[in-house]
Amino acid sequence: MTEASIDVIAIGNAIVDVMAPCEEALIEELGMTRGGMTLVDTARAELLYDRMGPAREISGGSAANTLAGLAALGAKCAFIGQVAEDQLGAVFAHDIRAAGIAFDTAPRAAEPPTARCLIFVSADGQRTMNTFLGASQFLPAAALDLSVIADAKVLYLEGYLWDPEEPRAAMRSAIEAAHGAGRKVAFTLSDAFVIDRHGAEFRSMIEAGQIDILFANEHELAALTGTDDFEHGLAALAPKLAVLAVTRGEHGAVAIAGGERAEVPAEPIAKVVDTTGAGDLFAAGFLFGHVRGQPLSDCLRLGAICAGEVISHYGARPEADLKALTAPVTG
């Protein structure tokens, strides 16, 4: 196996987040699932946008956010995702390239427009997401350069993108290419509702050894394992994976790898402004430690620090100097 020249390559939704603060009553009135991610069609997206307050647009997408964190830490990254040939597509492409991430997926010159996620942020920082997948769901397997995937230490995949057919097929061939080259596959479960739809498939992929590193939060762990007992869930899942990392919000995170277990408390934060991207940036810090070969407890600490940074401001991409923040752990 040759030395990989990329640390992490990711396949994910190419999304621009449209974010605005919101009153609790509006979430109820609009029938949104507080704290969740719901896919919406054009009509619903328009209705929700009409009711949203003045917003700001910041590039997002779960796996893309993770790469933004990794790149800020100094990792070499590449992203694969589908935008349309429109203004929001240009915004997404600019932002990911400006973060130092290679991004070569050609924009799609057809309807629908670039994906956007309407994010209603509550006073306590909780985010309620409504995703219009747009062009993102038409990422074709043909857009993948398998030689580039074979050249990355880790292939990182986003569960959110498992819904649409074309990207799912693309991700399946990417897994094959990565494992064919002796690389590792990391997967984030993304959302409990994604598991409601695709849990059986995720479980069989794990059984078949197609996933090496799994990221989940405690709700996703419960949905995947079918038990609300956290320890039982961990015990059932961990032996089937090289690495299992589970986040527990304000209660920190747990990771198990090769029988070793480590835990980390959540990073103390003066004020939680917007939790969008917390899981994504946890994965960024954790993977950064992982590709550098740091101990499991360091990987967790790096994840906690990066998650703590991103929830202290609006938007799911890091703003502070992550290298400086993580220096006590990276040395």
Q: Which is nearer to a second copy, 20 or 181 (CB)?
A: 20
Q: Which is nearer to a second copy, 1 or 123 (CB)?
A: 123
Which residues lie below 8 Å from residue 307, measured CB to CB, with a gap of 6+?
247, 266, 267, 278, 279, 281, 282, 285
The H or E element spanning position 7 is strand 6-11
Q: Which is nearer to a second copy, 92 or 202 (CB)?
A: 92
Q: Which is nearer to a second copy, 51 or 248 (CB)?
A: 51
Q: How far is the CB of 90 from a second copy (least distance, A)?
A: 9
Q: How far is the CB of 147 from a second copy (least distance, A)?
A: 27
DSSP 161: G
Which residues lie below 8 Å from residue 311, measured CB to CB, with a gap of 6+?
125, 269, 272, 273, 274, 275, 277, 278
DSSP 228: S
Q: What angle do CA 148, 7, 297 make, to 5 degrees?
A: 150
Q: Which is nearer to a second copy, 40 or 256 (CB)?
A: 40
Q: Which is nearer to a second copy, 251 or 323 (CB)?
A: 323
Cα–Cα distance for residue pair 76/73, rounded to 1 Å? 9
**Residue of 176, 128, 104 whose CA lies nearest to 32:** 128
Residues that bind a second copy (CB under 8 A): 18, 20, 49-50, 52-59, 68, 86-88, 91, 94-96, 98-99, 113, 315, 317
Tokens of 191: 């959302």
* CB atoms closer than 10 angstroms to residue 321: 11
